């Protein structure tokens, strides 16, 4: 659904790394929380819904969330994933075949207006004009943003003694509140015990690694970190 091919920094290696990390259960508490928000909103077990994941990457979040909702449901839900990266969508469509996957720009989304009950936007850029256009009258936009301590163990190695060592999401939160009516805010914070085989994919799954030096990347590979902090906020908004 893109007019022309695009090369982004989100490459195959990053999606493969994200997939390993997602499948290791790293984000399970986050996905459980998002599923609960959707289930509570649906109220009735027989109510079908349409869920768009805008910036879905390799599709593991949408697949996991939809799976959890379906377990609690007497009906089918439609999952649609949209991402600007062809690499991500190829991976998603090969493994999660019961959904619709599209290569496209979320700033110019190829979907009709007011068709989605839920729009997920997980650690990805947003376009609120498009989200407002596509969400149904009483639908919800569910955006996940990093908090200060998200992957702090990696951040410390990548950005020690630089201004990027501390992260603030104030602008993102403010923008969300300006564009949508904020209905709920949920902080999800936990630690994951690291298996040494996850260090490599952990480093390469995040854009955090883009702005650091080769030397620090090497240091990260050799790090002896036993636990990693996940610190995220889920914002729930409506029109
Ligand atoms: C950090 S990744 C997160 C991917 C996925 N949500 C996850 O958490 O695994 C950010 C994603 O946003 C996608 N993205 C960036 N700009 C986009 C745009 N304009 N339209 C659609 N997707 C976009 C990237 O291709 C990438 O897959």
Give the tens place of pLDDT for each residue, 174-184.
Answer: 999 999 999 99
State whether the beta carbon of 18 lies less than 6 angstroms from ligand 1: yes
Q: What pLDDT score does 166 carry?
A: 66
Cβ atoms of 47 and 75 closer than 8 Å: yes
CATH 3.40.50.150: does it fit domain 12-149+166-191+230-238? yes
Confidence at 208, pLDDT banded by 50, 70, 90: confident
Separation of CA 45 and ligand 1 centre (Å): 30
State whether the beta carbon of 6 lies less than 6 angstroms from ligand 1: no
Sheet strand arrangement including 181-193: 100-103, 78-83, 50-54, 116-122, 135-146, 227-238, 181-193
Residues 111-140 have pLDDT tens digits of: 999 999 999 999 999 999 999 999 999 999
Residue nearest atom 10 in ligand 1 by C-alpha distance: 124
Strands 50-54 and 78-83: parallel
State whether the beta carbon of 125 lies less than 6 angstroms from ligand 1: yes
d(CA 73, CA 39): 8
Domain boundaries, the chain: 12-149+166-191+230-238
* Pocket residue to mutate for ligand 1, from 124, 205, 208, most atoms within 8 A of Cβ: 124
Q: What pLDDT score does 45 carry?
A: 85
Separation of CA 216 and ligand 1 centre (Å): 25
The ligand 1 atom nearest the CA atom of 105: 20
Least confident of 25-34, 133-142, 194-203, 213-222: 213-222
Separation of CA 83 and ligand 1 centre (Å): 6
**For residues 215-222, average pLDDT:** 85
pLDDT exceeds 80 at position 162: no
Give CA torsion, residues 154, 96, 10, 171, to 10 deg: -70
* Pocket residue to mutate for ligand 1, from 30, 57, 59, most atoms within 8 A of Cβ: 57
State whether the beta carbon of 91 lies less than 6 angstroms from ligand 1: no
The ligand 1 atom nearest the CA atom of 120: 6
State whether the beta carbon of 85 lies less than 6 angstroms from ligand 1: yes
Q: What pLDDT score does 167 carry?
A: 67
Separation of CA 82 and ligand 1 centre (Å): 9
Cβ atoms of 62 and 81 closer than 8 Å: yes
The ligand 1 atom nearest the CA atom of 107: 19
Q: What pLDDT score does 7 carry?
A: 80
Q: What pLDDT score does 93 carry?
A: 98
pLDDT exceeds 70 at position 165: no
Q: How far apart are the first and last CA of the chain?
A: 26
State whether the beta carbon of 84 lies less than 6 angstroms from ligand 1: yes
SS3 assignment, position 154: helix
């Amino acid at each position: 659904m893109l007019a022309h091919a695009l090369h982004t920094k989100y490459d195959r290696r990053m999606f493969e790394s994200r997939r390993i990390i997602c499948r290791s259960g790293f984000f399970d508490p986050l996905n459980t929380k998002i599923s609960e928000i959707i289930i509570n909103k649906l109220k009735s077990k027989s109510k079908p819904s349409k869920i768009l994941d805008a910036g879905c990457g390799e599709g593991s979040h949408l697949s996991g969330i939809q799976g959890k909702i379906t377990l609690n449901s007497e009906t089918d839900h439609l999952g649609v994933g949209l991402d600007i990266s062809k690499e991500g969508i190829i991976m998603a469509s090969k493994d999660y075949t019961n959904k619709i996957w599209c290569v496209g720009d979320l700033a110019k989304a190829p979907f009709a207006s007011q068709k989605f009950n839920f729009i997920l936007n997980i650690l990805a850029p947003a376009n609120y004009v498009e989200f407002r256009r596509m969400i149904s009258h009483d639908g919800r936009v569910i955006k996940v943003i990093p908090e200060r301590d998200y992957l702090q163990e990696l951040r410390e190695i990548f950005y020690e003694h630089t201004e990027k060592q501390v992260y603030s999401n104030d602008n993102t939160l403010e923008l969300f509140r300006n564009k949508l009516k904020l209905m709920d805010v949920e902080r999800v914070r936990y630690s994951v015990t690291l298996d040494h085989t996850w260090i490599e994919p952990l480093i390469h799954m995040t854009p955090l690694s883009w702005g650091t030096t080769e030397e620090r990347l090497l240091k990260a590979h050799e790090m002896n970190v036993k636990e990693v902090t996940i610190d995220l906020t889920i914002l729930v908004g409506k029109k």
